[in-house]
């Protein structure tokens, strides 16, 4: 069964196969991915030159779902000078002294740039909910607050692409074991990863609710099957490239006074 990743309505995550790959072969998908990432690099130059819009590419997913890997592949042909990357970890004392969106709005990229969010403001309705770090009334109110925030961004030239990397519990276990077996990957493993894994069902419900509550027309979620890294990269790159193309950007017109310049 074909499975769309663009969410415009109520969904159940159990109906999405994390190993889905649309019948594509790995090498063919990788070749297509490179074409998409080259297009992203080309469109980034136009985005930077026009400086009228910015793009936020937001990744959420369980540990080992491949957020870092997806970012690395996506930006293969992008000029890093036009990229702003933020990893949202536990809030600092300064960040806790402000509203929960303060640190997020600070990280929104300037016009002309691409912003990468590795995790995001959605942690405030995910880990905060699952680990009961805030009362239910607090995190429940945040769905509407997040929608309002993203609407403000959309109305002011900031496009937000939200990707949920949908990983199976079995594949997460395989990747954890791989990290433990490889000394060069030991640094990726943390004991807290197992603590979060113990709350798997709670996180799946929290993600499902966040996707259903926060997928308005101006900023829908994209659910990406993530058991196959190559298919994950293919779907993300294709979606970002097409979104940039939809901006219909052209090179800015040269200034009239440039015609009078003479370089000796």
Angle at the Cα of 197 from the Cα atoms of 192 and 69, rounded to 5 degrees: 80
Report the candidate in 141, 86, 155 with the shortest Cα–Cα distance to residue 117. Answer: 86
Give the total residue count for the chain.
264
| This prediction's pTM | 0.94
Q: For residue 1, what pLDDT is reported?
A: 36
Contact 180, 189 (CB under 8 A): yes
3-state secondary structure of 151: helix
Q: For residue 259, what pLDDT is reported?
A: 75
Q: For residue 103, what pLDDT is reported?
A: 98
Q: For residue 2, what pLDDT is reported?
A: 43
Tokens of 123: 């942690």
Q: For residue 6, what pLDDT is reported?
A: 65
Written as tens digits, the pLDDT of the chain (264 aa) is: 344 466 667 899 999 999 999 999 999 999 999 999 999 999 999 999 999 999 999 999 999 999 999 999 999 999 999 999 999 999 999 999 999 999 999 999 999 999 999 999 999 999 999 999 999 999 999 999 999 999 999 999 999 999 999 999 999 999 999 999 999 999 989 899 999 999 999 999 999 999 999 999 999 999 999 999 999 999 999 999 999 999 999 999 887 777 778 888
Q: Which domains does the chain have, with CATH numbers?
A: 13-248 (3.40.50.300)
Q: For residue 15, what pLDDT is reported?
A: 94
Q: For residue 7, what pLDDT is reported?
A: 64
H or E element, residue 84: strand 83-87
């Amino acid at each position: 069964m074909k499975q769309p990743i663009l969410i415009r309505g109520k969904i159940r995550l159990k109906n999405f196969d994390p190993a889905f790959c649309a019948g594509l072969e790995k090498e063919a998908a990788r070749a297509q991915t490179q074409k998409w990432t080259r297009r992203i690099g080309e469109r980034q130059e136009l985005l930077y030159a026009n400086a009228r819009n910015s793009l936020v590419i937001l990744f959420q997913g369980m540990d080992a779902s491949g957020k870092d890997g997806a970012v690395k592949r996506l930006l293969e042909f992008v000029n890093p000078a036009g990229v702003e990357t933020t990893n949202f970890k536990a809030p600092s004392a300064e960040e806790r002294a402000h509203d929960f969106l303060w640190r997020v709005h600070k990280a929104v990229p300037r016009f002309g740039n691409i912003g990468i969010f590795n995790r995001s403001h959605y942690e405030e309705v995910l880990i905060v909910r699952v680990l009961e770090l805030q009362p239910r009334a607090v995190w429940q109110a945040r769905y509407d607050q997040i929608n309002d925030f993203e609407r403000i961004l959309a109305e002011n030239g900031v496009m937000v692409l939200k990707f949920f990397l949908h990983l199976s519990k079995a594949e997460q276990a395989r990747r954890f074991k791989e990290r433990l077996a490889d000394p060069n990957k030991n640094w990726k493993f943390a004991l807290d990863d197992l603590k979060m894994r113990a709350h798997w069902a709670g996180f799946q419900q929290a993600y499902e609710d966040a996707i259903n509550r926060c997928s308005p027309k101006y900023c829908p979620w994209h659910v990406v099957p993530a058991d196959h890294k190559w298919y994950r990269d293919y779907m993300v790159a294709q979606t970002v490239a097409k979104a940039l193309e939809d901006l219909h950007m052209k090179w800015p017109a040269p200034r009239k006074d440039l015609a009078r310049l003479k370089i000796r």
